[in-house]
Amino acid sequence: MDWDKIWEQIQEEVIAFIIGGIVTYIIYFLAKQTKPNRIGEKIVLRLPTLYWYLAIILLFALPIILLADSYSLFKQNGKFILPNQMMFYIIIPLMFVALFLIFYCKNHEIILGKDSIVSYGLTRKRKEIQWKSISKVQFQQGSFRVYELKKHIEITSYLAGFAIFLEHLKKYVSTDLSEEAFRKYEKFLKNS
């Protein structure tokens, strides 16, 4: 057993883990600093644009990684060989995730007004619920859901300006409808 090689591999993995943690924290911090857009008296909640940039970088970096792996195999063997299947199993789904994130960042938005809350989904389908007609409020899996008779709007906690949505919810919706949802949200914050 070659302990020097094992020790080098452990050091590389620890360094990669530390760098990954630092980058993840920086992304989280920058995303939390994003302010929502204001259009007159309306407030537009969206994913932070940082996620869009990261998805673009990921979309272009992944094929480059595949090409670099192919090139390194070419240098070793002297002939062109496709990267191993594991690379494809990881990179191709990540490319689809990046594409989804790009469209989600561009299309999905929640607009808060005095009278209503409007949601545009991934396909730009519009849903509108009047604050006074909200019949139920729930909090599940990091998202608030506000219900009207047959439709609902989901507001996820990672949208820029989520705190403003909470203020609007407290202001325009009666406490008896939202009390349980806020209790679950507080519990969610403590656990995360």
Give per-residue pLDDT as tens, 78-112: 776 666 676 777 788 888 988 988 888 888 899 99
Q: What is the structure's pLDDT at 74? A: 72
What is the spatial distance between Cα 185 and Cα 139, in angstroms, rounded to a whole number?
6
φ/ψ of 147, rounded to 5, equals -115, 140
Tokens for 37?
A: 């857009």
Whole-model pTM? 0.73
Task: Tell me the two tokens of residue 11.
Answer: 């050091």
**To the nearest whole percent, how much of the chain has pLDDT over 70?**
95
CB 131, CB 146: distance < 8 Å: no
Closest CA to 47 of 124, 142, 159: 159
Strand-pair category, 116-120 with 109-112: antiparallel
Rounded Cα–Cα distance for residues 160 and 33 (Å): 8
Quote the CA–CA distance of 108 and 85 in Å, as a whole number.
34
Question: At residue 190, does pLDDT exceed 90?
Answer: no
- Tokens 């599940």 belong to residue: 140
CA 144 to chain centre: 15
pLDDT band, residue 15 (cuts 50/70/90):
confident
17-26, 71-80, 86-95, 126-135: segment of lowest average pLDDT? 71-80
Beta carbons of 159 and 46 less than 8 angstroms apart = yes
pLDDT of residue 154: 92
